[in-house]
Amino acid sequence: MNQYVSARFTSQYKATIGADFLTKEILVNDKLVTLQIWDTAGQERFQSLGVAFYRGADACILAYDITNPRSFAALDSWRNEFLLQAGNKDEDNFPFVVIGNKVDKEAERRVLKSKATAWCKSKGGNKSSASGDGIPHLEVSAKEAKNVEAAFVEAARLALETDDGGGGDIFIPETIQLGGGNEKKADAGCC
């Protein structure tokens, strides 16, 4: 998230407590989109906070560490938890993107790309994925900024494709005047 939004990487690990978010404006299919990117805590003790952050999400990026098989094994749990907390009824078509991070540590790889790709393909007929063949999967390096932008752009693209069209127009409510309309207008011609 920090690499994508701020082009910054730190090797010092700092666990997310609760959630953190950043925003970024991008062009997707000639449409200006503001991404509000939430990083939620991975620790079990914070899982109950998920509903506050997941509800209303337009896409979800699930990340695992290619050097840590436990992080990959947790993808099912995280996906199911997201769908449960978000209250999404159409789980086969909700836009997910899976990223395998730390490809800069290829020598330490413990999760085969083929295994991750197979897992993504097994997750239903996500008709919103480019291939229509499960969840899109990208391998990235936050450290080297490899494929990071592509992962977020893919999530945004999928979210726009599955949008029901209701989010495109801005609703401006009627103006309400408080004070009964008895205000005197100043005779001065400025501001």
For residue 158, what pLDDT band results from cuts at 50, 70 and 90?
A: very high
Amino acid identity of residue 65, one-letter, is D
Residue 85 has a pLDDT of 82
CA pair distance 55, 182, nearest whole angstrom: 43
Q: Hey, where are the domains in the chain? A: 2-162
pLDDT at 167 over 70: no
Tokens of 117: 């790709």
Residue 78 has a pLDDT of 87
CA pair distance 141, 146, nearest whole angstrom: 5
Mean of the pLDDT values across residues 88-105?
Answer: 88
Instruction: Detail the DSSP E strand segments found in 29-81.
Output: 31-40, 60-65
Residue 22 has a pLDDT of 73
Tokens of 50: 């998920």
Q: Which range (2-11, 26-35, 67-76, 180-189) has the least confidence? A: 180-189
pLDDT at 163 over 80: no
Residue percentage of the chain with pLDDT more than 70: 61
Residue 20 has a pLDDT of 61
More confident call, 162 vs 182: 162
For residue 132, what pLDDT band results from cuts at 50, 70 and 90?
A: low
Amino acid identity of residue 170, one-letter, is I
If one counts every other C-beta atom within 10 angstroms of the C-beta of residue 147, the result is 18
Q: Does pTM top 0.85 for this prediction?
A: no
pLDDT at 139 over 70: yes
Domain 2-162, CATH homologous superfamily name and number: P-loop containing nucleotide triphosphate hydrolases (3.40.50.300)
